[in-house]
Amino acid sequence: MTQPSIITDEMRAYIGRESEPIVVEVDKTSCRMFARAVGYTDPLFYDEEEAKRRGYRSIPAPPGFLGHPVYNPARPQRLDYLPPFQTPFTRILNGGTDIEYYEDICAGDVLTVTRKLVDMQERQGRLGPMLITVTEFTYKRGDQVVARFRGTLIQY
């Protein structure tokens, strides 16, 4: 006897749907803090003069850092990594992250980000059914795509 699918029509309707854009900023302090947190010691991520000497506009965003949402209590916005629908699962695992860069991202950049659910699958695991979703975030500076972040989320 086959189990009914855990993927509903409502969930499927989100595949390919792009979110409204969110504004994120890349600033010097955040670049430095991220670099420090992950253990980067290259002066490039701390010293703006060194970054400019190496051909950057300002301190470059360290690999893995793509800015942070601009906070305004009058217009709350959130860069949500969870699917935009309810699931029956309470446990979540990061199934992998890929970031593809097309242009340098530096302190001073203001980017817009959109999210799109690109794939959804169900699998049977040792602990029972799992929902695997792949979400893609597109980062733009003006009209130019500067990076794509693709994340896989496993819910079980």
Task: State the pLDDT confidence band at 1, using cuts at 50, 70 and 90.
Answer: low
pLDDT in tens, 113-146: 999 999 999 999 898 999 999 999 999 999 999 9
Entry pTM: 0.89
In CATH, what is the architecture of 1-25+77-156?
Roll (3.10)
**Domains of the chain, residue spans:** 1-25+77-156, 27-65
How many whole angstroms separate alpha carbon 138 and alpha carbon 86? Answer: 23
Contacts of 117 (CB under 8 A, 6+ apart): 14, 15, 16, 17, 83, 84, 133, 134, 135
Higher pLDDT, 130 or 70: 130
In this structure, the strands spanning 144-155 and 92-101 are antiparallel
